[in-house]
């Protein structure tokens, strides 16, 4: 396979863009990425577009990518629409990587976007619940749960172990939110750009299980774009980041003997890149809740199971620590436009590897990992994408 390089990146601010539509957000991100890559749109041979919620939010199904790219110079190239829950954008990146690595195309564009209608909460709840098996949701929470009640946070908020004891200390969960809000305060693209205290996190409204509102990621509007090129493609700038590994896995959720999908994907990614977790300099992972971040640490090999508290309390995963996690602010602060989240992680890491992050820069960043989860099936994630990037 050929080496694949990220030569250009672009991203809007993630926020509640009440006065902007999806097409407008995508056009901003695409123009920025092409400009950053120094690539003429005529050199782009395909576009892979990730989106999760447009069908439920607006009724726009089937040709979402063609619609949001309609006024760009990319119309006319093959456009592939990708929907894979919260892993939609990173799955689109995986497909784009396959096309370039396999010699099908020398230059492709990958887009992730979302426009969430915050004014109609029922639609938003249906989108979130739709990332799970709705038959299972109905069995657990009642026949109308998938339409009338957001039960995803109930699933994520369950934190008891086999003996019924809480696995996570509430102050530790709050500290994760404090960390990521601090990082987000340094990111001009973040939804939340204000620091918070442990007390503020704990006193925010309870939303499910042990989780408060500030322990959960805000749903956001936004778009991100990446230009992928083969190593020998000369009509793009040098620099960027090499994709050392790209892995997509899907969980079963019906076989407790099978290792959790994130751990399986991480092991494959480390093997593909020829590295171990101890080699990483910076990580972006899927912190839909503070609890999610802690739970992912051992699956990614960042610590032993149950040792997550040390990483946070000893500030290992804070900016300035040995292994900063979510320097962008993560989903908790940067925000969670479902169909754009996976690309936002990779944009941040590319900027980190190029030294373009200003006050949140990880000075030693040479090797980075992005982990993006999508949906939930029984006892496992529905999808997981992991990318390893190298400067």
Per the CB < 8 A criterion, the answer to whether 274 and 140 are in contact is no
| Backbone φ and ψ of 378, nearest 5° | 60, -100
Where along the chain do its domains lie?
4-118+222-230, 121-214, 241-390
Q: Two tokens at 216?
A: 């959960």
**Mean pLDDT for the stretch of residues 279-304:** 97
Number of CB atoms found within 10 A of residue 364's CB = 10
**DSSP for residue 53:** S
Measured CA to CA, the distance from residue 86 to residue 286 in angstroms comes to 9
Band of residue 257 on the pLDDT scale cut at 50, 70, 90: confident
**DSSP for residue 233:** -
pLDDT of residue 127: 87
pLDDT at 157 over 80: no
**Mean pLDDT for the stretch of residues 338-348:** 98
User: Does 164 or 11 have the greater pLDDT score?
Assistant: 11
Band of residue 316 on the pLDDT scale cut at 50, 70, 90: very high
pLDDT of residue 162: 44
pLDDT of residue 285: 98
Measured CA to CA, the distance from residue 82 to residue 65 in angstroms comes to 9
Strands 107-114 and 47-50: parallel
Q: How many residues does the chain have?
A: 391
pLDDT at 254 over 80: no
**Mean pLDDT for the stretch of residues 150-177:** 69
Instruction: Tell me the pLDDT of the chain averaged across its residues.
Output: 92
Looking at the annotation, which residues are catalytic?
86, 336
**Model-level pTM greater than 0.75?**
yes
pLDDT of residue 160: 45
Measured CA to CA, the distance from residue 152 to residue 140 in angstroms comes to 12
**Mean pLDDT for the stretch of residues 320-324:** 98
**DSSP for residue 340:** T
Band of residue 296 on the pLDDT scale cut at 50, 70, 90: very high
pLDDT of residue 163: 43
Topology (CATH) of 4-118+222-230: Peroxisomal Thiolase; Chain A, domain 1 (3.40.47)
User: Does 257 or 166 have the greater pLDDT score?
Assistant: 257
pLDDT of residue 124: 86
Per the CB < 8 A criterion, the answer to whether 248 and 385 are in contact is yes
Q: What percent of the chain clears pLDDT 70, i.e. is strictly above it?
A: 93
pLDDT of residue 156: 59
Judged by average pLDDT, the poorest of 32-36, 149-153, 171-175 is 149-153
Measured CA to CA, the distance from residue 208 to residue 154 in angstroms comes to 5
pLDDT digits (tens, 9 = 90+) for 215-243: 999 999 999 999 999 999 999 999 999 99
**Mean pLDDT for the stretch of residues 286-300:** 96
pLDDT of residue 137: 75
Measured CA to CA, the distance from residue 111 to residue 134 in angstroms comes to 28
Judged by average pLDDT, the poorest of 104-113, 181-190, 370-379 is 370-379
Position of tokens 């892995």? 247
Topology (CATH) of 241-390: Peroxisomal Thiolase; Chain A, domain 1 (3.40.47)
pLDDT of residue 138: 74
pLDDT at 76 over 50: yes
pLDDT of residue 155: 59
Q: In the β-sheet with 79-82, what is the strand arrangement from edge to edge?
A: 79-82, 47-50, 107-114, 222-230, 4-11, 241-249, 380-390, 367-377, 282-284
pLDDT at 332 over 80: yes
pLDDT digits (tens, 9 = 90+) for 242-253: 999 999 999 877
pLDDT at 147 over 80: no
Measured CA to CA, the distance from residue 145 to residue 147 in angstroms comes to 5
């Amino acid at each position: 396979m050929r080496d694949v390089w990220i030569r250009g990146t672009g991203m809007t601010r993630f926020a509640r863009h009440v006065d902007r539509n999806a097409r407008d957000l995508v056009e901003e991100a695409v123009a920025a990425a092409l400009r950053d890559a120094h690539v003429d749109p005529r050199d782009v041979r395909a576009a892979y577009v990730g989106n999760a919620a447009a069908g439920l939010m607006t009724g726009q199904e089937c040709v979402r990518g063609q619609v949001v790219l309609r006024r760009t110079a990319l119309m006319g190239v093959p456009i592939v629409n990708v929907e894979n829950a919260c892993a939609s954008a990173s799955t689109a990146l995986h497909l784009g990587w396959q096309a370039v690595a396999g010699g099908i195309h020398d230059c492709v564009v990958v887009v992730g976007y979302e426009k969430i209608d915050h004014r109609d909460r029922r639609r938003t709840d249906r989108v979130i619940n739709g990332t799970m098996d709705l038959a299972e949701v109905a069995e657990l929470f009642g026949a109308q749960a998938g339409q009338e009640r957001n039960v995803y946070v109930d699933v994520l908020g369950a934190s008891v172990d086999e003996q019924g004891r809480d696995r996570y200390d509430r102050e530790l969960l709050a500290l994760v939110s404090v960390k990521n809000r601090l990082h987000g305060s340094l990111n001009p693209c973040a939804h939340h750009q204000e620091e918070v205290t442990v007390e503020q996190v704990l006193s925010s409204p309870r939303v499910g299980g042990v989780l408060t509102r500030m322990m959960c990621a805000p749903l956001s509007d936004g778009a991100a774009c990446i230009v992928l090129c083969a190593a020998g493609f000369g009509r793009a700038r040098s620099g960027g980041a090499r994709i050392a590994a790209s892995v997509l896995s899907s969980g079963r959720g019906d076989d407790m003997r099978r290792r959790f999908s994130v751990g399986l994907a991480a092991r494959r990614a480390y093997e593909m890149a020829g590295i171990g977790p101890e080699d990483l300099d910076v990580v972006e992972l899927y912190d839909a809740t503070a609890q999610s971040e802690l739970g992912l640490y051992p699956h990614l090999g960042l610590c032993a199971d149950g040792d997550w508290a040390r990483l946070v309390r000893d500030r290992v995963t804070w900016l300035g620590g040995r292994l900063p996690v979510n320097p962008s602010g993560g989903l908790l602060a940067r925000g969670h436009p479902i169909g754009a989240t996976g690309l936002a992680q990779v944009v941040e890491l590319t900027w980190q590897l190029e030294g373009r992050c200003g006050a949140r820069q990880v000075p030693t960043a040479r090797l980075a990992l992005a982990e993006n989860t999508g949906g939930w099936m029984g006892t496992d994630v529905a999808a997981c994408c992991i990318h390893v990037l190298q400067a």
